Amino acid sequence: MSKIYYTKPSIGELERAYVNDAVANGWGEQCYAYIQRFEREFAARLGVAHAVATSSCTGALHLGLRALDIGPGDEVILADMNWIASAAPVCYVGAQAVLVDVLPDSWCLDPAAVARAITPRTKAIIAVHLYGNLAALAELRALATAHGLALIEDAAEALGSRYQGRGAGAWGDLAVFSFHGTKLMTTGEGGMLVTNSTALRTRVEQLNNHGRAAGELRQFWPAELGHKYKMSNIQAALGCAQLERLDELLARKRAIFAYYARALLPVIDGAQMNPEPPDTLNSYWMPTLMLPEDCPGARDTVLHSLAEAGVDARLVFQPLSRTPVFAATPQASNPQAAGLALRGLNLPSYHELTEAEQDRVIAAVLQGLKR
Ligand SMILES: *Cc1c(COP(=O)(O)O)cnc(C)c1O
């Protein structure tokens, strides 16, 4: 019985052709050609003015926070239910991550909890669109504007998700994406920072070039201490090919989600999966099953049953406030994040997953619930 991975990329002829071309020809005058093309096409696809390719989403977020001049003494609000990658850059710049609770349906930032957490030191809100689900963009945008805060979207899990027809990542003052191998499209490792602000773009590019100012005539002359989170031309070639296939990759994610939802939701009373409220389109990056609240322990028996069936399922993100990284900083108690963490599982959803394999996953979930 072959193992069913929870995610893996879809790499075809187009990807191989572009990468081979970049390896063979992407040097000298062509050394930035795929990078510039990837940035241009990504920005156009999202309908934003600027895109800067990076070596990771974590790096893009670090650059973004620095470009917004966020540092020691500042606070940045984000959800407790997150992977550390969304919070670590806040710590890198010396600011304080304020971890607040999430909504029970979208599993993303609760705007009321954000409003309660705003202080005179707050500089930004990081809205992470979890598993393709959209954070409450209208409410968070309004809060950010009313309090003079930056709205940063971490759209690493929501490339292709839309709110009112406009893509996740096009709503914030800046947004970041990831092209890690687990994400909807991949460059191996990689990320992107997007913004409509020319000033922010210039600042991000300077920071990402070891602090060298554009137009500096002196050689080896940084104007400030910067970073280097650059994407290579070879990775960008892979990105160009994946971007051309984005609609196909997205359609498959949605079909995989629909197949799970049809099989599981009608038979598991009180279970939830990724929501798609009116006015939104969910990329369903990671089909996620929230088991009923009244079945304590079901998550573990289901996980065990999946493991026995050779299925690589994952837990949803555990509250960051409970991890050693944030143990020393007092945080609010976040009951939704804590409760969801005990009930949620990510199900396999890679592009080449077959219906027979999905049936195996579904059978293992239902088997686990009988125990
Ligand atoms: C994957 C992910 C990241 C980190 O991306 P890297 O490219 O691995 O740095 C950050 N935020 C979210 C929400 C993610 O899913």
Given a cut of 90, whether residue 169 has pLDDT beyond it is: yes
264-290 pLDDT per residue, tens: 999 999 999 999 999 999 999 999 999
CATH second-level architecture of 13-244? 3-Layer(aba) Sandwich (3.40)
Looking at residue 66, its pLDDT comes to: 98
Looking at residue 371, its pLDDT comes to: 79
Given a cut of 90, whether residue 102 has pLDDT beyond it is: yes
For residues 155-166, average pLDDT:
98
Q: Cβ contacts of residue 249 below 8 Å, gap of 6+?
A: 10, 160, 184, 185, 242, 351
Give residue 332's pLDDT band: very low, low, confident or very high (50, 70, 90): confident
Given a cut of 90, whether residue 296 has pLDDT beyond it is: no
Given a cut of 90, whether residue 329 has pLDDT beyond it is: no
Q: How far apart are CA 264 and CA 291, in angstroms?
A: 10
Query: Taking a C-beta distance cutoff of 8 angstroms, is the pair 154, 176 a contact?
Result: yes
Q: Please, which residues bridge with residue 154 across strands?
A: 128, 176
- Single out the residue of 134, 96, 153, 79 nearest to residue 319, CA to CA: 79
Given a cut of 90, whether residue 241 has pLDDT beyond it is: yes
Question: What ligand 1 atom has the least distance to the C-alpha of 178?
Answer: 7
Tell me which residue has its CA closest to atom 12 in ligand 1.
Answer: 156
Q: Which residues line ligand 1 (CB under 6 A)?
A: 56-58, 83, 85-86, 128, 154, 156-157, 178, 180, 191
Q: How far apart are CA 255 and CA 258, in angstroms?
A: 5
Residue 85 CA, ligand 1 centroid: distance in Å: 6
Tell me which residue has its CA closest to atom 11 in ligand 1.
Answer: 86
- What stretch of H or E contains 96? strand 96-100
Burial class of residue 193, CB neighbours in 10 A (0-12, 13-18, 19+): buried
CATH 3.90.1150.10 maps onto the chain at 246-370
Pocket test for ligand 1, best of 57, 184, 187 (most atoms within 8 A of CB): 57
Q: Which amino acid is at 88?
A: A
CATH 3.40.640.10 maps onto the chain at 13-244
- Single out the residue of 29, 25, 28 nearest to residue 234, CA to CA: 25
* Residue 340, Ramachandran bin (φ over 0: left; ψ between -120 and 50: alpha; else beta): alpha
Looking at residue 327, its pLDDT comes to: 85
Helix (H) and strand (E) counts in the chain: 12, 14
Residue 138 CA, ligand 1 centroid: distance in Å: 23
CATH second-level architecture of 246-370? Alpha-Beta Complex (3.90)
For the chain, percent of residues with pLDDT exceeding 90: 96
55-67 pLDDT per residue, tens: 999 999 999 999 9
